[in-house]
Amino acid sequence: MGLFVAIDAGGTKTQCLIADGERVLARAATGTVKLMRVSEQEATARLQAMLAEVAVAAGVSLGQVERTCFGLAGVSGPAVQAWARRAMTAVVAGELILCGDEEIALDAAFAGGEGILVIAGTGSNAIGRSAGGAHFGAGGWGPVLGDEGSGYWIGLEAIRAALRAQDRIGIGGVASCLLREIEQHWGLGSVAELVAVANQRTFAEGATPPDFAALAPVVARCAEQGDALAAGILERAGEELAELVSVVFHKMQAGPAGVSGAGPTEIGVAFTGSVLARIAAVRGAMAARLAVTVPSARVREAAVDPLDGALWRARHG
pLDDT at position 1, please?
A: 63
Are 130 and 216 found together in one domain? Answer: yes
Q: How many percent of the chain have pLDDT more than 70?
A: 93
pLDDT at position 169, please?
A: 74
Amino acid at 282: V
Q: Which region among 30-39, 55-64, 85-94 has the lowest average model confidence (pLDDT)?
A: 30-39
312 falls within a domain? no
Q: Which region among 76-80, 81-85, 132-136 has the lowest average model confidence (pLDDT)?
A: 76-80
Are 194 and 48 found together in one domain? Answer: no
Q: Average pLDDT for residues 40-68, to the nearest whole number? A: 94
3-class SS string, 101-142: HHHHHHHHHHCCCCEEEEEECCCEEEEEECCCCCEEEEECCH
Q: Which region among 133-142, 262-271, 274-283, 297-306 has the lowest average model confidence (pLDDT)?
A: 262-271
Most confident of 128-132, 139-143, 147-151: 147-151
Are 266 and 284 found together in one domain? Answer: yes
| CA gyration radius, the chain | 21
d(CA 68, CA 89): 10
d(CA 14, CA 29): 6
Q: How many residues does the structure list for the chain?
A: 317
Domain end among 82, 99, 116: 99
The distance of Cα 28 from the centroid of its chain, to the nearest Å, equals 19
pLDDT at position 173, please?
A: 64
284 falls within a domain? yes
Q: State yes or no: pLDDT of 144 exceeds 90.
A: no
Q: Decide: 296 and 268 in contact? Cβ < 8 Å.
A: no
Domain end among 53, 81, 99: 99
d(CA 297, CA 245): 9
List Cβ neighbours of 235 (8 Å cut-off, separation of 6 or more).
281, 285
pLDDT at position 28, please?
A: 96
Q: State yes or no: pLDDT of 263 exceeds 60.
A: no
Are 159 and 228 found together in one domain? Answer: yes
Mean pLDDT of the chain: 89
Q: Average pLDDT for residues 298-309, to the nearest whole number? A: 92
Q: Tell me whether strands 13-19 and 3-9 are parallel, antiparallel or unpaired.
A: antiparallel
Q: Average pLDDT for residues 16-44, to the nearest whole number? A: 91
13 pLDDT band, cuts 50/70/90, is confident
pLDDT at position 36, please?
A: 75
Q: What is the pLDDT of residues 196-217, one digit of tens each?
A: 989 987 666 666 778 899 999 9
Q: Tell me whether strands 124-129 and 65-72 are parallel, antiparallel or unpaired.
A: unpaired
pLDDT at position 201, please?
A: 77
Cβ neighbours around 121 below 10 Å, total: 24
Are 17 and 92 found together in one domain? Answer: yes
Phi and psi torsions of 93, nearest 5°: -80, 175
CATH number at residue 178: 3.30.420.40
Residue 200, domain extent: 103-303
pTM of the model: 0.81
d(CA 15, CA 101): 11
Domain count, the chain: 2
Q: Which region among 30-34, 74-78, 85-89, 263-267 has the lowest average model confidence (pLDDT)?
A: 263-267
* DSSP helix/strand/coil, 174: coil
When comparing pLDDT for 239 and 140, which is higher? 239
pLDDT at position 286, please?
A: 97
CB burial class (10 A; 0-12, 13-18, 19+) of residue 105?
Answer: buried
Cβ neighbours around 145 below 10 Å, total: 8
Domain end among 81, 99, 117: 99
Strand (E) positions, 146-255? Answer: none
